[in-house]
Structure 1
């Protein structure tokens, strides 16, 4: 069973520190099955996945670089290299996509929140299986040209982020975290 200690060890592994091997097909499906165990008001299943693996990693890196050259022609080589390794270094990347079309009962914000929970749960599942993982957004998560013409999203879908998964090549040092007690207040506020 999941323990608080296991949750306290959750961390992101930078993409540049992810290498092969990644999860095999059965292991990835088990991780994704774990990821879909999230709150889902109205049982809408407002999310789906795209797997980027094998040769698709290089093709997506090329497409992302071409799109960024259109958006920001003066982008330097270091930024382009960071963009490329986002897709080429991890053995597998999962794009988590929120489905936000019209719904008379469940607001889009609730459905997007459910898809965000899926992304986080996938991070936890990857770590539970012994992998490093990182949730990435940036301009690729918001540029409609990239989302629709490169990734194939529809106009009513939004990229929650990409989850890079692989074997960590270095131990990730723990970073300072906020103290929960400093963030907690009681309601109603006392005068």
Structure 2
């Protein structure tokens, strides 16, 4: 698949199964990630690759974050939170470990990590892997950041779920780029 085809046909895969990416494929995804634009060469991206039982530790974090937000959460809600970490064979956590008070603003550092995640999603698609970018309350939780080994100043950009796509992929609208262009007022 050529780059333009991957960029113009890529879709997210909400349902993922085994196998997840091989070690070689993970290496390629991470190589694609660290080639993202990075104003100031701060290299703010940090990645945690979770597979196998490590996903259960993420499930612990998901449950802890739920209980921080909803201390009265019942056992079913707690189990649902934990099971989110088992929806894919591999979860790659992408975090912007930001440098504060730098000439490159924090928002640009976070965008660099977003670009890194997009590079991984396109690379995964080209490798016939399914990918789903997830965030939610867990991405902004200081508790989750701390449990992942980061400071409150840092920003979780993505929980990138990776695996083999299951079922039919989404059909996205065939929009025209002209629909999104505005003229200068």
**What is the TM-score when the length of structure 1 is the normalising length?**
0.87
CA RMSD of aligned residues (A): 2.0
2:22 pairs, out of 14, 21, 24, with: 24
| SS state at 1:37 partner | coil
2:69 aligned residue:
71
How far off its partner does 1:109 sit?
1.2
1:157 aligned residue:
154
2:59 pairs, out of 48, 58, 61, with: 61
- Per-residue deviation, residues 118-139 of structure 1 (Å, max 9, x unmatched): 1111111111111101000001
**Please, which runs of 5 or more residues in structure 1 have no aligned partner?**
none
Structure 1 residues 173-182 or 121-130, which shifts more? Answer: 173-182
Give the length in aligned residue pairs.
Answer: 185
- Per-residue deviation, residues 32-53 of structure 1 (Å, max 9, x unmatched): 1012111111111111101111
For residues 23 and 52 of structure 2, what CA distance do their matches in structure 1 show?
Answer: 12
How far off its partner does 1:83 sit?
3.0
- Per-residue deviation, residues 18-64 of structure 1 (Å, max 9, x unmatched): 11101121220111101211111111111110111111111221331
| SS state at 1:105 partner | coil
2:126 aligned residue:
128
For residues 79 and 2 of structure 1, what CA distance do their matches in structure 2 show?
Answer: 43
How far off its partner does 1:107 sit?
1.1
How far off its partner does 1:69 sit?
2.2
- Per-residue deviation, residues 146-175 of structure 1 (Å, max 9, x unmatched): 111x21112331100110000011121313
1:109 aligned residue:
107
**What is the TM-score when the length of structure 2 is the normalising length?**
0.90
**Is 1:170 aligned to residue 167 of structure 2?**
yes
